[in-house]
Amino acid sequence: MSESVLRDLRPDVNAAQCPSRPILEHVTSRWGVLVLAALLDGSYRFSELRRLIGGVSEKMLAQTLQTLERDGFVHREAQPVIPPRVDYSLTEFGREAAQQVWELARWSERSVDKVLAARAAYDEAKTS
């Protein structure tokens, strides 16, 4: 299906070909959420982001930043200095998305005890 045809369809995230699906995937991916949340605090260099987001590889961070930049959520600014300096920040559109996913991330932090208790109860019921 061409992009122009997809734009004419009413967005429905449950529809297999809906263009909202990859957008949802990008902003709710493991690294997408963490990059967007980190950038809520301001502009960061690549190495700063990598240190801030524990466990992300260089490759995954680079791919995530590129995807979020392409989608219009992240702004990449290369400074003409030596050594080269590249800063990443949120666009206004990106700030809106980041605030939404950050709320979900905070909710998951608040829910850890309930989830762990539910898992333990499930596991106990399965073994009895």
Summarize pLDDT for 90-108 with one digit per residue, the tens. 999 999 999 999 999 999 9
Give, in degrees to the nearest 5, the angle at Cα 93 between 92 and 95: 65
Summarize pLDDT for 52-81 with one digit per residue, the tens. 999 999 999 999 999 999 999 999 999 888
Predicted pLDDT at 16 = 87
pTM of the shown model: 0.83
Q: Give how far Cα 68 sits from Cα of 28, 98, 104, 124, Å.
A: 11, 11, 18, 41
Predicted pLDDT at 84 = 85
